[in-house]
Structure 1
Amino acid sequence: MKALIQRVRQARVDVEGETVGAIDQGLLAFVGVERGDDQARADKLLHRLLNYRVFSDEQDRMNRSLTDVAGGLLLVSQFTLAADTRSGLRPSFSSAAPPAEGEALFDYLLAQARARHASVASGRFGANMQVHLLNDGPVTFLLET
């Protein structure tokens, strides 16, 4: 699994003009599910999302996690993260999990996140989403499990 995370001051996801998920300060995580991913990898990714230290402490160092700052977590499924872009001029999606498997694992990740963290929102799997964000920093990292 992969997650492209961005530290945000606020973020929201709209589908067909309706806001389906929104957070204030926290992390926006675009999540890509690849073939062979399983619940153990989702659990590892969630642990990293909740504990990755990207928020500033009193000395302005990145020493605080999402859990430490009680920030929001906005999960957005994005199968394009699983694309193979190493060659050619068109991405290959052969390494992406099939839609049903990807949705099941994303739903598992979302359920586990909601069980472990107070403020969790999400986009809608497979939908055409418009993501609005105010990046804080900018601070962006690619996490892989």
Structure 2
Amino acid sequence: MRALIQRVTQASVTVEGETAGQIGTGLLILICAMRGDDHANAVQLAARIAKLRIFSDAAGKMNLSVKDTGGAALVISQFTLAADTRRGNRPGFSEAAAPDEGKRLYEVFAEQLHSHGILVERGVFGADMSVELTNSGPVTIWMDTADRR
């Protein structure tokens, strides 16, 4: 699975003009299940992100996790993280998981993140969403459960 994680002071997602999810300080997580990913990948990635120390402590060092700070997570499905741009001008997405499997793993990921004691808000899988955020830092981290060279 792939994730793009942004440390935010606020983030929200709207679908058809309605707010689907919103958070204050925490993480905006754009997530993509890749072909061949399984339940274990979703569990592993959620655990890694829950422990990721990218929030500042009293000394100003990135030493705290989202859980340590009492922050929340807004989890958004984004199959375009699977984009293959090596050839031509149009990205290919054949490495993304099939929609049914992608949705299942997205749900597993969000539930697992919540099981670590983190408040989780979600977008709507497969919907056309508008995401608003204020990136803090800016801090943006890329994670992948597999080495896909």
Q: Normalised by the shorter chain, which TM-score bucket? A: over 0.9
Instruction: Say whether 1:81 aligns with 2:86.
Output: no
User: 2:47·2:113 contact (CA, 8 Å) conserved in 1?
Assistant: no
Q: Say which SS state the counterpart of residue 142 (structure 1) adopts.
A: strand
User: 2:67·2:118 contact (CA, 8 Å) conserved in 1?
Assistant: no
Q: Say which SS state the counterpart of residue 20 (structure 2) adopts.
A: strand
Q: Which runs of 4+ in 1 moved over 6 A?
A: none
Alignment partner, residue 60 of structure 2 = 60
Instruction: Say whether 1:23 aligns with 2:19.
Output: no
Distance 1:87 1:118 in 2: 39
One-letter amino acid of the counterpart of residue 134, structure 1: T
One-letter amino acid of the counterpart of residue 81, structure 2: L
Deviation at 1:88, TM superposition (A): 1.7
Distance 1:137 1:143 in 2: 18
Alignment partner, residue 43 of structure 2 = 43
Alignment partner, residue 70 of structure 2 = 70
> Where in structure 2 are there 5+ consecutive unaligned residues?
none
TM-score scaled to structure 1, two decimals? 0.96
Deviation at 1:80, TM superposition (A): 0.2
Alignment partner, residue 115 of structure 1 = 115
Distance 1:47 1:34 in 2: 18
Distance 1:120 1:136 in 2: 19
Alignment partner, residue 105 of structure 2 = 105
Give percent identity, aligned residues only: 51
Deviation at 1:111, TM superposition (A): 2.0
Q: Say which SS state the counterpart of residue 36 (structure 2) adopts.
A: coil
Alignment partner, residue 3 of structure 2 = 3
